[in-house]
Amino acid sequence: MIKGGARGRFWMKSISYISANNYQYWANLKWLSMLGFCLFISILSIAHAQGDVPDSKRYQDIQYISGGIGSEESDAMLLLGKKWPLTLEFAQDHPQRPLWVADVQVKITNSKKKVIFDALSDGPILLIELPADQYEIEAKFEERTLKRKIKVEQNKSVKLPIIWPIQ
């Protein structure tokens, strides 16, 4: 028969072993919970950002997205624009800062002088899926046309702000 003292030491060792294992278990569980929560928030924010982007359209063989009205939609489009070959931003100069404009008619001519894109931008941001080449862009807002030349390279993204001066 085990005396009380020996039995007590046996139980104390068991309790300390169980507590150490429980601590490690709870520490791992806490870490995994935090990791899962961060992953959930990341997925949610990406889905939310993509949900704010208007549907893509096509002009002949060219895919494009036009929009950017409202801060959530413009933020989402600018983020997505980093993955598109060409992002155009339309604005009108203003004493404090340029103000974004919409309803811009955009015509793009390739290096062979062929018009490959001609569409109306519904918002201040226009994402265009163009192949690598040199282009001339004509942007018309309130009967005023601005022209820009641009080179689009394969696997690179170009962002071009087009700003109309104050009349």
At 42-65, the pLDDT tens digits run 444 444 445 689 999 999 999 999
Q: pLDDT band for position 167 (50/70/90)? A: confident
CATH architecture of the region 57-164: Sandwich (2.60)
Q: Tell me which residue has tokens 């060409």.
A: 86
And the tokens for 141?
A: 């807002």
Handedness of CA 149, 155, 156, 161 (dihedral sign): positive
Give the C-alpha separation, 135 to 152, whole Å: 8
The pTM assigned to this predicted structure is 0.69
What confidence score (pLDDT) does residue 46 get?
47
CB 102 within 8 A of CB 123: yes
At 122-149, the pLDDT tens digits run 999 999 999 999 999 999 999 999 999 9
Higher pLDDT, 73 or 17: 73
What confidence score (pLDDT) does residue 67 get?
95
